[in-house]
Amino acid sequence: MGNGRFSRRQAIQVGALPLLGIDLPTVLAAGAASPTTPKKAKACIFIFLWGGPAQQDTLDPKPDAPVEYRGEFSTIQTALPGIRVCEHLPGIAKRLDRVSMIRSMTHTDVNHTTAPHLLLTGQPMLNQGQPLREDFPGMSSVLASMGRGAGSPLPPAINLMPHSPDKAPRFVEETHGQGSGWLGPVWQPMRIDANPNAADYTVGEITPSADLAGMRMEDRARLLQALGSMAQPTRGDTAAQSLHRDRALGLLSNRKAAAAFDLSQEPPGVRERYGLNIHGQSVLQARRLVEAGVPLVTVYWQNDGITNVSVYWDTHSRNFIDLKTRLCPPGDRALCALLDDLEARGMLDETLVVWSGEMGRTPKVGQSVPGGAGAGRDGRDHWAKVFSCIVAGGGFKKGLVHGSSDRYAAEPSTSPVRPADLVATLYHQLGVDPHTIITDRLGREIPLVSGEVLTNLIG
C-alpha cells in the first residue's frame, strides 16, 4: 500500500484490522498522503443542494439580459466590488470576501440521480442503470478507507438525509455517489434520517448508558440500521457487519461521542442563527460532528413536502416563489452561520465547506430541454452546461470569483471547471493525492480522480 495503490480486497481486509487490535492509521499512513500534497484540512462539510439551484437566480445573476432570461429578482452588491448576487442571498453577499465562488462549473448529465455521482466521487458512472453498490466510492468512504477518523467512536463518514415532518418522498435516497460503492460496506457512511429540528430528535436512539447489558435490543437495532443504512451485506461481508456492530456499541457507551448528536447542548441563540428548520439544524449538526472529529459530513437538502410541483431545488414550476420563500432564505442563513461559527471557533482554516447542487437550471424561464423534466411558465428545467458553487475554508482563497458564464448564464465563457476538478482540489486540500492509482471493481488500475487541482483557488 505504500505505493499509493489499494484494492477492494485490501480495503475490506483493512476494515477488519480494528477488530483484531491492529493499528489502522499506522497501516495506511504511507498511502494516505504524499510529500507533494501536504495536509491542509482535517475535515469537509459538503452542503448538497439537491435538485440544482438556478445559477442566474442565485449566485450568477444576469441583470442586463432580457427578462425571460434574467428572471424576476433584483440583485445586490456583495463585499466584492462589482460582484452582485440575488437579492435573496444577503448573508452570502456580505461574506463573499471570505469565500471563493465558482461560476463556471460544467458537465453534461441532467439526471438528478446520476449527476451527483460526478460531484461526490469525481468520476462518471460506467452504467446508468447500475445499483448503488456498484458506484465509484464517494469521497467520504475513500477518506475512511485511508484511515481518516480511525480510533474515534464516531463513524468516519456521515450523511445527513433528514425526513420531512410529513414523510414526503425522498428521491435523494436514489442518488448515486453517496456511499461506498464497490469499496464495500465496511466504509459505508452512517446515514441520519431523523429531523434535527424536531423536539424529540435522536439518532438511532443514542443514549449513553453505563449498563449496556440492560439496553433495549430495539435501540441497538435502530443504531445499527443507521450505521449500515445503505449497505446491503452479502456473503463474506462479516467484517462489515462486525465493524458496524462495534461502532454502534462504541457510540452507545461513549458519552462524549453521543454528545455530538445532542443539539440541545447548543445555546438557543446559536440554534436560531442557523435557522429553526430542518436544513438549518442539519448544518448545525454537521458542525458539531466535524468538531467531534468526523472527517466528512454531507448535508443533503430535504424534500420539505410543501409542494408537489417543486421539490428540493428542482424548480420546474414556482421557481421564483420557492426560491424567495423556502430555498434561498434558509440556505443563505445556515451557510452564513456555519462560516461564522467555524471562523469564531478557529476551525475554518482546517475545515473545507462546499455549497453546491448537482446542476443548474435552463437559461430561459419556461424552457424545456431533452433529458429534463420540462418546465412550467414560471419554472426552469434541468441544465448542466453551467452552474455555480461556493467553496470556503481549508486553504481556499478568500474573495475570489473563479470563471464566468456567458450573458445568458447558458455556458462557461472563461475557466470552465469540471466536477472532477473540484473533487481533485478537495482531495488535495485534505492531503490526499487525487491521482493515486486504485483498482476498481473490474480490476482496472485508474486514478482516484481524473480532474486537475484548481491551484489558483488555493491560498
Instruction: Please answer whether residues 407 and 64 qualify as being in contact, where contact means their C-beta atoms are separated by less than 8 angstroms.
Output: yes
pLDDT of residue 228: 54
Exposure string for 9-45, b = 16+ CB within 10 A, e = fewer: ebbbebbebbeeeeebeebbeebbbeeebeebbbbbb
Domain assignment present for 234: yes
Alpha carbon 133 to chain centroid, angstroms: 18
Domain assignment present for 237: yes
User: What are the beta bridge partners of residue 206?
Assistant: none
Domain assignment present for 302: yes
Domain assignment present for 133: yes
State the residue range of the domain holding 36.
Answer: 8-457
What average pLDDT values come out for the chain (459 residues) when binned by 10 residues? 42 35 30 46 97 98 98 98 98 98 98 96 92 95 92 91 78 90 92 93 63 50 57 51 67 82 96 97 98 96 70 92 96 98 97 98 97 93 98 98 98 98 98 92 89 96
Nearest C-alpha neighbor of 115 from the set 443, 383, 449 = 383
CATH of the domain at 287: 3.40.720.10
Domain assignment present for 115: yes
Nearest C-alpha neighbor of 70 from the set 384, 389, 361, 364 = 364
Domain assignment present for 77: yes
Domain assignment present for 3: no
pLDDT of residue 29: 33
Instruction: Please answer whether residues 180 and 138 qualify as being in contact, where contact means their C-beta atoms are separated by less than 8 angstroms.
Output: yes
Distance of CA 139 to CAs 87, 118, 232, 356, 415, Å?
Answer: 33, 11, 19, 15, 24
3-class SS of residue 106 = coil
Rounded CA gap, 116 and 95, in Å? 27
Overall domain count for the chain: 1
3-class SS of residue 378 = coil
DSSP 189: P
Nearest C-alpha neighbor of 424 from the set 435, 416, 411, 413 = 435
Which three cell numbers mark 409?
448564464
345 CB-contact burial (10 Å; exposed 0-12 / middle 13-18 / buried 19+): exposed
Domain assignment present for 2: no
Nearest C-alpha neighbor of 276 from the set 324, 330, 335, 321 = 330
* pTM for this prediction: 0.86
β pairing state of 387-392 and 100-105: antiparallel
Rounded CA gap, 102 and 384, in Å? 14
Nearest C-alpha neighbor of 452 from the set 426, 431, 444 = 426
